[in-house]
Structure 1
């Protein structure tokens, strides 16, 4: 992929897309003070080779599903092939190879009450090259989903964010997707709080709904006319269905961006063991760190997992020792650099 250098306008566009992933280029251009054509050209440049994508995401619990964070240790020579096999599975949203030559980490979804053992708990351990599988629930997400990494949400002023939101309130995308929490001031994940802890109401989807969600998971900016053509519904019906799904909280739009485009050369994963009485406080503190692109409380021997993005190795070291190491309540910490992303936001990386 061509090496890109992002300027202030590019970063403003990324921030605007997080505020409203389906905002018309016209409305974004008005907020950024440039022409429609300039915004469209910049977006398509960033979109090339999947460097940046707007994707539609769903809330697992509303679909009767749960998210798992899974570590797979395998024979080093087989790690690449196993990671690619996992990435081809529709239930995996992202898959990464870690340093050490034989470890994979991935996120997958399954029914909350499966009738039988699912892929990662049943089939993988019977693969000869797999040495161990450790799969744990994501109990609560503190960074990720509607709470975004500040690497892409620190370019616009509060007034610009308000203008984007006001515009969204007048259109068909009003609701949770348009009002996703955003801040104009670093640091990071926005805000330093978790996804609501209440139990969301379950939903029942029909074929049209599932078709829309499948298309938006690949490209959240797919035009209404194309969505209607793919699903067999009218544009008016598609508009109503998407508005209903966003208002209910089932659907939101996220921006997937390669961290290196923003100047972050080191990606890593870490697992923390935190004193249970301090777990929420530590998780919220971690969520405020600009180096954290993902953070969630999990089941298992460690109870907090985080995905890190750092400028370089020195910054990675400083973060581990000065920021994470200084948090009260952290008992143990394990980290591993990501050496290759095999799947991101539901898309295979070639």
Structure 2
């Protein structure tokens, strides 16, 4: 990795790096030749940039499952610990396969994490049994994520303008089809889709049921969203052709999406804050939608609890954070109270826990 000459720190992403990341966020498995054509550079340049940055840990492409498509429920969890126990508890949480976005927050005694459960009735194993009984855990608060205003396949880089709208459109895949009951059980060779009876379009789609091979596929994509087809075939037991069809089917169903996990420092972000807002119910939808448009917001969602609107906010420094809180946030309608909590250490992002990787601040939540 390049360095900027200051204590050996990695050099910030340049314009081409940002355009490449935006392209990968738009389509994480797009061929380098297609990306190169949009960026106006050679295939070799794109391949070199990608290989260098992925090898250094500056960014990586992940293939992730959309929890709502699987009928899963997400919980934003805040765990209060004794000071000397917070890091071990956070590491234990990060190692769990049903968690993501695990961080130590201000003061070093609070852990923030996202936990997933098969349904709201199956959340007790971690939230009601294990965490409260963990030594040195003095409090647990869990807020069910009701609605996502910004997040998932959308990222901070999507708001950056690194690619023009026309360039992003050239790379964008077709929008997901409405999942149909026929595809809830996934025969890997099936690539046909049904949009359902027009009279039933308002009904919630049935959750998609993943096979064991699908789950192995997602485990591999969580480590490397651009893993070669031969490698994915080896872990699933399918042929490369079947893998290609299944990837297309899962993406068309809205189950699979691609995300770029990158080092925030290389984008110039020095401060990440968890923002909890209490909003008048009549203003919640409008306020959440307005919040989602802010360039500082990496994630925004409506939750249960007295603080019913959550956002992950990224700023260059504390001065920029103060300006943001006293201008854009202050202008939001219906906000009654605000709580902000800076992140001091990042342990896990959207993908699997990499205990050997440096604890660099990562993108988004």
Cα displacement string for residues 164-192 of structure 1 (whole angstroms, at most 9, x for unaligned residues): 23xx5xxxxx5539xxxxxxxxxxxxxxx
How far 1:88 moved relative to its partner? 0.7
Cα displacement string for residues 39-90 of structure 1 (whole angstroms, at most 9, x for unaligned residues): 0111122213432111112121332311110000111111111111111111
Whether 2:282 is the aligned partner of 1:277: answer: yes
RMSD, aligned CA = 1.9
Relative to structure 1, the CA distance from residue 95 to residue 6 in structure 2 (aligned partners, 3 Å threshold; closer, same or farther) is same
The DSSP-based 3-state class of the residue aligned with 1:146 is: coil
**Distance of 1:151 and 1:91 partners within structure 2:** 26
How far 1:262 moved relative to its partner? 0.5
Q: Which residue of 1 aligns with 2:15?
A: 8
Cα displacement string for residues 267-319 of structure 1 (whole angstroms, at most 9, x for unaligned residues): 11110000000001111111111111111100112100111100111001111
Q: Which residue of 1 aligns with 2:350?
A: 345
Scaled by the length of structure 1, what TM-score is found? Answer: 0.88
Contact kept, 8 Å, 1:59 with 1:251, in 2: the verdict is yes
Relative to structure 1, the CA distance from residue 38 to residue 272 in structure 2 (aligned partners, 3 Å threshold; closer, same or farther) is same
How far 1:199 moved relative to its partner? 2.7
1:209-288 to 2 correspondence within 5 Å? 209-288=214-293
Contact kept, 8 Å, 1:21 with 1:254, in 2: the verdict is yes
1:1-350 to 2 correspondence within 5 Å? 3-114=10-121, 117-150=124-157, 153-165=160-172, 175-176=175-176, 199-346=204-351, 347-348=353-354, 349-350=357-358
**Distance of 2:111 and 2:73 partners within structure 1:** 20
**Distance of 1:18 and 1:159 partners within structure 2:** 15
**Distance of 1:159 and 1:101 partners within structure 2:** 44
**Distance of 2:99 and 2:71 partners within structure 1:** 16
How far 1:211 moved relative to its partner? 1.2
How far 1:115 moved relative to its partner? 5.4
Relative to structure 1, the CA distance from residue 226 to residue 175 in structure 2 (aligned partners, 3 Å threshold; closer, same or farther) is farther
**Distance of 1:278 and 1:224 partners within structure 2:** 47
Where structure 2 has 5 or more consecutive residues not aligned to the other structure, the ranges are 2-8, 178-201, 359-365
Cα displacement string for residues 134-185 of structure 1 (whole angstroms, at most 9, x for unaligned residues): 01111111111023224664211122223223xx5xxxxx5539xxxxxxxx
Where structure 1 has 5 or more consecutive residues not aligned to the other structure, the ranges are 169-173, 178-196
Contact kept, 8 Å, 1:176 with 1:252, in 2: the verdict is no
Per mean C-alpha deviation after superposition, the further-off stretch among 312-321 and 112-121 is 112-121
**Distance of 1:198 and 1:147 partners within structure 2:** 25
